[in-house]
Amino acid sequence: MVEIRRFEEKINEEYNKGLVPGLVHLYVGQEAVAVGVCANLTKDDYVVGTHRGHGLAIAKGVPLDKLAAEIMGKESGCCKGRGGSMRVAYLESGLLYSCPIVGTNLPLATGVGLSIKLRGTDQVAVSFFGDGASNTGDFHESLNLASVWKLPVVFVCENNSYAISVHIKKSTAVEDIYKRAVAYGIPGVIVDGNDVLAVYEAAQQAVQRARAKEGPTLIECKTYRTVGHGTTDPGTTYRSKEEVEEWKKRCPIKRFREYLVVNGVVSEEQLRQIEKEVEVRVEEAIRFAEQSPYPPPTALMDYVY
């Protein structure tokens, strides 16, 4: 989680320096979701993410340097700079794709589930999406299909209450997305998405259920992005300062840090050491990305077919 947070802060700095092309959506505040879920997965399990995909990439084991280079559009990126921030994929660690069109990744995860079922392995497919995606046809078609075919899929809704600037009360008929599972005859679970252990436990059950061939689960993680929708959004016009501050108090990193120290799992000193190491790794990754070359013009037409 610390690695994700620090990485995103650095990417924001790089963006402000003009070194990141296109749109960038930071995962700041939501780290516990990707980390808590992915802690249950192996590299053979598949995940698909969204435009807000850096956190998932790190949690699923994409090397920081390849990720940073991809975000900056460099040839050394995990997608050779063709995908950019919103389309990170790294097959080697099971990050199949990050799909920036809202809702679009749910059918993909469903199909991955079908492939797992027909190939007879015990892998699982996990789709991460926001509360906004739960209003798309893709969401409903996928939950229906995954349920009818009893596929090993876990649908993880990261409910951060805002679809860009529109509050969930204005856009969504239910405030709790997990309730939508009822319509498809699958378990729906709600969890504090800023509590990494709670997310871990909810995901553990869903993943076990999928591996046991018992079908899909919908998990709703209540969370919050304490930054704007994207790097061009200060995140201040459609929500109050108080609301943001309130959620900052519930920072998943702070909470887990306290938990670890209070319970004597690790010492304050050890944590500081880890944070120092993270700082170095992130710095190195960013430097690698900055120094990497862009794809050459001669390579424009590679990979179309």
Partner 1 sequence: MREITYVEALNEALREEMRRDERVIILGEDVQLGYSGRGGLFLVTAELMKEFGAERVRDTPISEEGFVGAAIGAALTGLRPVVEIMYADFLLPCMNQIVNVAAKLRYSTGGQLKVPIVIRAMIGQGRGVGSDHSQVLIPWFMNVPGLKVVAPSTPYDAKGLLKSSIRDESPIMFFEPFLLYRTKGPVPEEEYLIPLGKADVKKKGKDVTLVAISTMVPRALSAAEKLEKEGISVEVIDPRTLIPLDKETILNSVKRTNRLVIAESSVKTCGVGAEISSMVVEEAFDYLDSPIKRVAAPHVPAPAAPTLEKLTIPDENDIIKAVKELVEG
Pairing of strands 95-98, 46-49: parallel
- Residue 56 is encoded by which pair of tokens? 């998932």
**Measured distance CA(170)–CA(157) in Å, rounded:** 18
**Cβ proximity to partner 1, 77 vs 252, nearer residue:** 77
Among 38, 79, 163, 210, interactor with partner 1 by CB under 8 A: 79
Run of H or E including 196: helix 196-211
Whole-angstrom distance, CA of residue 98 vs CA of residue 54 = 9
> CA angle at residue 55 from 51 to 61, to 5 degrees?
115
**Region binding partner 1 by CB under 8 A among candidate stretches 181-189, 205-213, 230-238, 296-304:** 296-304
Determine, following the binding rule CB under 8 A, whether residue 150 of this chain makes contact with partner 1.
Answer: no
Task: Determine the interface stretch with partner 1 among 54-62, 78-86, 218-226, 258-266 (rule: CB under 8 A).
Answer: 78-86
Please state the closest distance from residue 133 (CB atom) to partner 1, in A: 13
Q: Are strands 162-163 and 166-167 parallel, antiparallel or unpaired?
A: antiparallel
**Residues 34/55, Cβ–Cβ less than 8 Å:** yes
CB of 42 to partner 1, least distance (A): 15
Handedness of CA 31, 33, 37, 42 (dihedral sign): negative
Residue with tokens 């040839």: 75
CB of 145 to partner 1, least distance (A): 5
Shortest distance in whole angstroms from residue 79 CB to partner 1: 4
Q: How far is the CB of 167 from partner 1 (least distance, A)?
A: 25
* Residue of 29, 83, 215, 216 that binds partner 1 (CB under 8 A): 83
> Of the listed pieces 137-145, 214-222, 253-261, 270-278, which binds partner 1 according to CB under 8 A?
137-145
When asked if residue 99 is in the footprint of partner 1 (CB under 8 A), the reply is yes
Q: If phi over 0 gives left and psi between -120 and 50 gives alpha, with beta otherwise, what is residue 84?
A: left
Active site residues: 225, 229, 238
From the list 156, 175, 158, 155, the residue with the least C-alpha distance to 167 is 175
Which positions touch partner 1 (CB under 8 A)?
Answer: 46, 48, 77-83, 87, 89-91, 96-97, 99, 101, 104, 106-116, 118-119, 125, 137-138, 141-142, 144-145, 148-149, 302-305
